[in-house]
A = this chain, B = another copy of it.
């Protein structure tokens, strides 16, 4: 086995764990916190609950909520200016992937200077970041666990992948109670995102014994609990989704992703789509493309999705892909690329951007721009 690295934050997981935020911030040296969240979480009362824990620790804070879905470079630079002006010392993010990734971007620019696009790609961040405590409000992005941040470069219309070990937060506080106020659509989009993290990381060309079982665990948990979570909103099933998202985050942060995410980032940059709903469209086509390079591993995924092996590894692998498609259809999400792109003439441009995404480096089968185009045609 070649060299493998594995890095995750300290994790505090469980119902009501939000109450530890202040104590954790204090422990990692906070005096004045830079808090990132969004209006939805304010309205649901979670931001107040969080700031109460800061008050208990007699911490000061500055609040920043100028973040949209698929956060943008200009918002990052604006946030970094506020961070510096207010002389904050610790970053806390409460939210889904967008506020968390925005918080990471702000931490980078505030401590390393320049603009966020200077750090696009892998391992471009030189100086240490302020300590970070993240609290995910969805069970999906894994940003609270991972060394990934995805920020949109508005001018180029591209979602940049910024990957660096230093983007792993110090502490992730995962409180399944926070999921209860999310819409059906967001729960589904987040869970499918986590599923795609698990599937892509499992077949990644740098997967390791430290990541493989985590990937399979996440797949199994999501296929078992997502329907119940959506239908009943039971805390037990939401907690299982949180658990799945967390272990999928541990896996993909350290094993990387693949062609599905490379394309998803380009799609998101060009069309501002809800990230989680891109995978039902793209991932089956990517899995079929990758199959010849990793039949046994795809069969492992099939076994978990189907709950059993079929006659051969290839049959199990293909059965798994079909099961994933059925699973997405049963959730009533779109499964055709034309529903997002509308005009086929956009595809070459889309693939030209995707081929430069850092996520493509760990795809198990080498994919050229033409290959990506064929994948998109297959998903059309």
Q: Which residues of A contact B (CB under 8 A)?
A: 1-8, 10-17, 165, 208-210, 213-214, 217, 221, 239, 243, 246-247
Q: In the assembled complex, which residues on chain B have CB atoms less than 8 Å from the CB atom of A6?
A: 8, 10-11, 13
Contact, CB under 8 Å: A13 / B247: no
Q: In the assembled complex, which residues on chain B have CB atoms less than 8 Å from the CB atom of A221?
A: 209
Copies per complex? 2
CB-CB nearest in chain B for A250: B210
Q: In the assembled complex, which residues on chain B have CB atoms less than 8 Å from the CB atom of A15?
A: 1, 3
- In this complex, the member of A7, A16, A165 whose beta carbon has the largest number of chain B beta carbons within 10 angstroms is A7
Contact, CB under 8 Å: B8 / A3: no
Q: A243-B209, A247-B209 are in contact. Are A7 and B11 (CB under 8 A)?
A: yes
Would you give the shortest CB distance from A213 to chain B, in whole angstroms?
Answer: 5
CB-CB nearest in chain B for A216: B213
A-B contact pairs, 5 of them (CB 8 A): A1-B13, A3-B16, A6-B11, A10-B165, A209-B217
A3 to B4, CA, bound (A): 30
Contact, CB under 8 Å: B5 / A7: no
Would you give the shortest CB distance from A229 to chain B, in whole angstroms?
Answer: 15
CB-CB nearest in chain B for A168: B10
Q: Is the interface of A mostly helix, strand, loop or mixed?
A: mixed
Q: In the assembled complex, which residues on chain B have CB atoms less than 8 Å from the CB atom of A239?
A: 1
* 3 smallest beta-carbon distances between A and B, as pairs: A3-B14, A6-B11, A7-B10
CB-CB nearest in chain B for A20: B3
CB-CB nearest in chain B for A235: B1
A247 to B16, CA, bound (A): 28
- Candidates B2, B14, B210; contact of A4 at CB < 8 Å: B14
Would you give the shortest CB distance from A308 to chain B, in whole angstroms?
Answer: 15
Contact, CB under 8 Å: B13 / A208: yes
A221 to B210, CA, bound (A): 13
Q: In the assembled complex, which residues on chain B have CB atoms less than 8 Å from the CB atom of A11?
A: 4-7, 210
Q: In the assembled complex, which residues on chain B have CB atoms less than 8 Å from the CB atom of A8?
A: 6, 8
- Candidates B10, B12, B14; contact of A1 at CB < 8 Å: B14
Q: In the assembled complex, which residues on chain B have CB atoms less than 8 Å from the CB atom of A213?
A: 213-214, 217
Q: A1-B239, A3-B17 are in contact. Are A247 and B210 (CB under 8 A)?
A: yes
A6 to B246, CA, bound (A): 11
- Candidates B3, B16, B17, B217; contact of A13 at CB < 8 Å: B3
Would you give the shortest CB distance from A19 to chain B, in whole angstroms?
Answer: 10
